[in-house]
Amino acid sequence: MATQSESDDFLSEGSSSAQEAEEPEIEARVGWRYTLSQVKRDATAMAGLFVVGLMTLMATFSFVDAELFAFLAQFETFASVGVEKYWFAKHFWVSPIAEPQGSIQLLPPVGMENQFGAGTWAHPLGTDDRGRDILVRLVYGSRIAIEVGYISTAIGLVGGVLVGAIAGYYGGWTDDVLMRAAETLYAIPFLVLVLAFMAAFGRSLMFAMIGVGVASIPTFARLIRSRVVSVREEDYVEAAEAAGVRDRNIILRHVIPNSFAPVLVQGTLQVGYSILIVAGLSFLGFGVQPPTPSWGQMLSTSKDYMLQNVWFSIWPGLAILITVVGFNVFGDGLRDALDPRLKN
C-alpha cells in the first residue's frame, strides 16, 4: 500500500526536474539522478535491486533459450545448424522438460538421503516426481514469474495511469464516470475477478496476465488521480493551457510525468504482488500448462509428494519468496528515496 500524502510538493519536483531543471543546485537535490544516488546509499534497497536484476537476467536467458530458439528453429538456416527449443539447456546442462530415462524420482538435495537414495551433484537440489532436475526447472521457471509480473504490471500501469490522469485532469462527469468504473472493478475481490475473467476468456497464461493487469488498473488509477488533482493547479499546467497546448500533450508531457513518482513505487510493489497472484492461479490449475516449468505449477504438483521429498515443495516456494522480497525491498527503497519525509 502506498502511503504518500496528498499535499506533497517534493514529489512533483522530484520527477519534473529531469527535463526542466536549469539551475544546477536544484538538480543536485531532486531528479532521477538524485533518486538513484539515494537508492545507492540504501544497502537493503540495493540488495533488492540485485535480486530483481538477477531474476530478470535469469528470466531473459530462459526466454531466449525457450521461446527465441523455438522460433528460430522454424527457419531452415537455423534448424540446419542445430538450433532448437532449449538448445542451450540440452547442450550445456539438462533439458528442463524431458523426462530422462533411468533417472531416480524425488531425490533429495546434495548431502541428504531419503527412501529413493542420496542426493548427488548431478542434481544439486534434487529431482521432481518425473526424475527431472529441480534446479534447471527453477531457473527456467523464473521466466514465467518475471514475464507475468512485468507484463501484467505494465498493463495495469498504462491503463491505470491513462484512466486516472484523464479523470483527474478533466474532473466533472468524466471523472465521475471513470472513477465509478474503477470503483466497480475494485469492488470485486482481486483473485475472484481474475478467476471470472479467465473462466470467460480461457485458462491460459496470457489471460492470467491480462486478467491481473486489468484487475490492477483501479489501484494505479486512484493513485495517480489523487496526484493529478493537485498537479492540474500548478502554474506550468496553466501556462501550457494558456499557450494553447493541446490537452493530449498537456496530459502526456506535463501532468503524467509530474505525478508519476508514487506510481513508479506502486508499480515495483505490484510486480511482486502479481507474481504471488499468478503463482496462486497456477496452484489452482489456471495458467501455464505442463511440461513448461513454472514455480506455481511446481508447487501445485509437489503438494502430492510432500511426505516423500519435501524439498520439491521448498525450493519453488523459496524462489517465489526471494523474488517477491526483492521487489518489495526495492520498492520500499525507491519510496524512501523519492520522498525522504516518509523514510522511517
Least separation in angstroms between residue 328's CB and another protein is 6
- In order, the DSSP letters of 9-62 are HHHHHHHHHHHH--SHHHHHHSSHHHHHHHHHH-HHHHHHHHHHHHHHHHHHHH
- Enumerate residues 6+ apart whose C-beta is below 8 A from 142: 55, 58, 59, 62, 295, 319, 323
* Distance in angstroms (rounded) separating the CA atoms of residues 137 and 135: 5
**Which residue lies nearer to another protein by CB, 73 or 325?**
325
**Cα gap 120→199, rounded to integer Å:** 43
Q: Does 325 bind another protein (CB under 8 A)?
A: yes
Q: How far is the CB of 334 from another protein (least distance, A)?
A: 15
Which span sits near another protein by CB under 8 A: 9-17, 34-42, 158-166, 178-186?
178-186
- CB nearer to another protein: pick between 80 and 344: 344
**What is the grid cell recorded at 102?**
533411468
Residue 171, classed as helix, strand or coil, is coil
- Choose the stretch contacting another protein; rule: CB under 8 A; options: 111-119, 140-148, 155-163, 310-318: 310-318
Cβ of residue 135: shortest distance to another protein, in angstroms? Answer: 19
CB of 265 to another protein, least distance (A): 14
Nearest approach, Cβ of residue 340 and another protein (Å): 13
The CA distance from 271 to 151, in Å, is 9
| Residue 169 contacts another protein per CB under 8 A | no
- CB atoms near residue 38 (< 10 Å): 17
Q: Does 284 bind another protein (CB under 8 A)?
A: yes
**Phi, psi values for residue 314, rounded to 5°:** -70, -45
Q: Is 272 in the site for another protein (CB under 8 A)?
A: yes
Q: Say if residues 270 and 156 touch (Cβ distance below 8 Å).
A: yes
Binding of another protein by 112 (CB under 8 A): no
Question: How many residues are given for the chain?
Answer: 344
CB of 200 to another protein, least distance (A): 4
Size of the site for another protein (CB under 8 A): 48
54 binds another protein (CB under 8 A): no
| Backbone phi and psi for residue 133, each to the nearest 5 degrees, phi listed first | -70, 130
Q: Is 47 in the site for another protein (CB under 8 A)?
A: no
Degrees, nearest 5: CA angle 56-59-65: 145
Q: Does 280 bind another protein (CB under 8 A)?
A: yes
- Binding residues for another protein restricted to 179-208, rule: CB under 8 A: 180-181, 183-193, 195-202
Q: Point out which residues bind another protein (CB under 8 A).
A: 1, 3, 180-181, 183-193, 195-202, 272, 276-277, 279-280, 283-284, 286, 296, 299, 303, 306-307, 310, 313-314, 317, 320-321, 324-325, 328-329, 342, 344
